[in-house]
Chain A
Amino acid sequence: MHRTRTWKLGLLTSLIAAVAACGGSTAAPDSTATAGTTAPSGGEITLYSGRSEELIADLLTDFTATTGIKVNARYGDSGETAALLLTEGSNSPADVFLSQDAGALGAVRESFSTLPDTTLDKVDANYRDAEGKWTGVSGRVRVIVYNPNVVNSPPSSIDELLDPKWSGQVGFPPTNASWQSFVTGLRVLRGEDGAKKWLTAFAANKPVAYEKNSAVRDAVNSGEVALGLVNHYYLYEKIAAEGADAVKAKNQYLGGGDPGGLVNVAGVGILKNANNSSAAQVFVDYLLSTEGQAYFSDKTFEYLLVKGETQAADLPALSDLGAPAIDLSDLKSIEITQELLQQVGLLTK
């Protein structure tokens, strides 16, 4: 990649020299157009990834080693990437979109082709698009992380968080996408008025804002606050890094369809206008293979969504969680969520 870059910069420099020598034509150079697109077809896909390079670069290397298919990955925030796909329209160079959350997949679902049943059947119907436009790859559960030294019986529903005894004791990450997805889920489950009512009461109970999920978890672990609203895997990351004995915090899973126990997924879809949809299909199937699933299980402590795959971490079974029933594509209305959060004073000041 670095060699290509040096080569292209060199080309650009010589173009500049050439244009300068010609005495100032403003025409845009077009000879770089073919640079880098000379690889044989069938062996290459362009992946737009809402998951970070740090997280999935090794997975892509394994994929290429196994299948011989080269991956050009463009990394970005999931929402930004979805918006970019929508702006690009049918000319997009992307073959596959791997998103961090379901909302961004829902936003571009019209641009996806329908996945084959053999692929879809691997995943529980709750964790993929109703019409098969995209499928979840790994899952995460919203939990209340708590410090047992401070709290004897943690709340078993988000409504208990509104009790004045938790005033100033609940940490949350206002800008985090997973927190905002939880609020979107709350809107979908309880309606706009119901969500606003809960958020207004939550804001009145003086929750403590942190920069990100891991900061909330650390504040709970140190006893700075008693409770925190995060995804389940932040606890396991800390245990993996510091050892089980060093970590005091525990996860409280909210059952009974409570909105606070939302299961969101990271998922994938293939673009209708993919240049190489067969290789893209190979990639999607790889993510759902035992190898691909094991990668997420070991590296991110997320839930595996493929039936029959066994979880590495000691997690309660997904089917026992009592998560709320929701069409995950409905999580795309993030902007309305953000406006609501602004209104109740939980996002901006």
Chain B
Amino acid sequence: MMTTKRAPRAQVVPAVIVAGASLSPIAYLVVQSTSRGVRPFVDEIIQQRTAELLTRSLLLCASVTVAAVIIGVFAAWVTTLAGLRGKVAWTVLFSMPLAIPSYISAFTWVSWMPSLSGFAGAFIVLTFACFPYVMLPVMAVFSRIDPSHEEVAMSLGRSPLITFFVVTLPQARRATLSGALLVALYVLGDFGAVAVMRHEVFTWVIYGAYRSGFNPTRAASLSLVLLVLALALTAAESQARGKQDKGVSPVRTLLRSGQSLAKVRALAAAVSTVIIIPSVGVPVISVVSWLQRESTRRVDTSDVVSSAMTSFGIGVAAALFCLLAALPVALMSVRHPSRLSRMLSAATYVTHSLPALVIGISVVYLGIRAVTPLYQELPMLVFAHVILFIPAMVTTLETAIEKSPVRLEEISASLGSSSVATFIRVTLPLALPGLLAGSALTMLAAVKELPASLLLLPTGWDTLSTDVWRFAAVSDYAAVAPPAITIIVLAAVPTAILGALSSIKFKSDS
């Protein structure tokens, strides 16, 4: 289905601009880290403490990824193949950690167990925050699995457990790997949980070099190491992933016979409850219980409403501009595949592995020098959010646009429609569901986002996330509760819809 026709200039020019803008933080990092020359940069990195930092970061990253894969695959099994009642409800519950920012979840753990810190604390918070990234793609595979393979295995005398590991799980290898990569990148880039837990991994040390060392050169050098690490992980994943998962066939899954699984189901429900308690129960119950605590300040409803409006407005702007920026890149890479279009698409993806704090700092550095009048104005914050969230948007749009057959566009063009008219009348309606989902997720991410907002918000403004951070910094949890609850509620609605939709969609497939 390749169209070899060259991409129209109307796509190429904006796509190149967007890719260039996405790479701007890396330009900053290179300039800043080598500002005293290449030799000091090398000396900064080649040190015993960098090796220790690398070990600690990789250890946390690997531990959380393994744990999240185990829980995520289990959750995917529970919500598809296990045959539990209330699949939709389980899916929604298991998706909920996506609605709770890691810093809020970390605060709830610390307020509940003040002695929790370091590796253990970061591991717990991040594992329970991240497993849905594995669950969602694996669910998609499990719900389409051809049961005949399992039935053959079981008829040959294999136990259900062995059947699952030998027959079912390998079919979801690719989905599991892509979920694991998302978790690994999330852990490397997360700041909230490791900062609250005081675990000295890359993001915390980068922040320390910036905030306590007043040493932007060291912060930038370590950011580059982190970037290389993340790129290596991404490359390793695409090597390991190989081609399509085997055995995923369009054969409709038959309803499974239930008799032998009664005990397994009871056990599955029990284990699921044990997972839901720390991942959703602890944060939600803690946050609500904070409302009862004494506060040294009065939190006006109007303040929370005003912050919520700001968060919502910024979220909508971030989603819209992200969509507009991602569109030419995604259109080009799907409709006019070439080395250039692949490079542009990859360029938007590179910064995915940089912590939001680093992107925030680079936008401050470049923005105040390049477009001084816009500094600390909303457009610059929205710009940072676009850079932060464009990778997910490009990926979503590429998948969505692929669903619109190129033939239809060609017919439209042959009937004399302009390319813009064809896009609006043909491509857009077919890609709309993916486009809306991508926008909703971007909005959510922008509402939860903290470090770039702290750096770039106009002076005197607050968002829900900066309110949470400000009050939590002085341990005034009673004041943290209203904005934290508002974020969770705002985020829970689209998350619940996402979870319910994927559950219902998979069910109708089967």
By a beta-carbon cutoff of 8 Å, the part of chain A in contact with chain B is 1-2, 5-6, 8-9, 12-13, 16, 19-20, 23-26, 28-30, 32-36, 46, 52, 54, 72-77, 79-80, 82-84, 86-89, 91-93, 107-108, 174-175, 211-212, 215, 332, 334-339, 342, 347-349
Q: Total contacts A to B, CB within 8 angstroms?
A: 148
Which residues of B have CB within 8 Å of A16? 316-317, 320-321
> Is A83 in contact with B216, judged by CB distance below 8 angstroms?
yes
A23, A75, A87: residue with the most chain B Cβ atoms closer than 10 Å: A87
> Is A83 in contact with B211, judged by CB distance below 8 angstroms?
yes
Q: Which of A1, A91, A337 contacts B460 (CB 8 A)?
A: A1
Judged by a CB distance under 8 angstroms, whether B327 is at the interface is yes
Known: A86-B216, A87-B365. 17 other contacts (CB 8 A): A16-B317, A24-B14, A24-B324, A26-B328, A28-B383, A32-B379, A33-B374, A33-B377, A36-B458, A74-B459, A74-B460, A84-B364, A87-B364, A88-B368, A211-B114, A335-B212, A347-B198
> Is B325 in contact with A26, judged by CB distance below 8 angstroms?
yes
Query: Assuming the A-B contacts A12-B317, A88-B368, A175-B198, are A77 and B211 also in contact, with contact meaning beta carbons closer than 8 angstroms in the complex?
Result: yes
Whole-angstrom CA separation of A29 from B382 in the bound complex: 11
Contact flags (1/0) for B374-393 with A, using CB distance below 8 Å? Answer: 11111100110000000000
> Is A348 in contact with B199, judged by CB distance below 8 angstroms?
yes
Which residues of B have CB within 8 Å of A72? 459-460
Which residues of B have CB within 8 Å of A5? 306, 309-310, 461
Whole-angstrom CA separation of A159 from B18 in the bound complex: 60
Sorting the interface of chain B by its residue count into under 10, 10 to 19, 20 to 34 or 35 or more gives 35 or more
B17, B49, B200: residue with the most chain A Cβ atoms closer than 10 Å: B200
Judged by a CB distance under 8 angstroms, whether B417 is at the interface is no
> Is B313 in contact with A24, judged by CB distance below 8 angstroms?
no
> Is A84 in contact with B458, judged by CB distance below 8 angstroms?
no
Whole-angstrom CA separation of A91 from B119 in the bound complex: 40
Whole-angstrom CA separation of A49 from B212 in the bound complex: 16
Which residues of B have CB within 8 Å of A175? 198
Q: Which 10 A-B pairs have CB atoms at the shortest separation, nearest pair first?
A: A335-B213, A349-B118, A33-B373, A334-B212, A107-B214, A74-B459, A9-B313, A335-B212, A79-B211, A91-B368
Whole-angstrom CA separation of A87 from B213 in the bound complex: 13
> Is B368 in contact with A89, judged by CB distance below 8 angstroms?
yes
Whole-angstrom CA separation of A24 from B423 in the bound complex: 12
Judged by a CB distance under 8 angstroms, whether B215 is at the interface is yes
In the assembled complex, the CB of A327 is this many whole angstroms from the nearest CB of chain B, namely: 17
> Is A26 in contact with B364, judged by CB distance below 8 angstroms?
no
In the assembled complex, the CB of B71 is this many whole angstroms from the nearest CB of chain A, namely: 24
Query: Assuming the A-B contacts A26-B18, A338-B212, are A91 and B372 also in contact, with contact meaning beta carbons closer than 8 angstroms in the complex?
Result: yes
Judged by a CB distance under 8 angstroms, whether B233 is at the interface is no
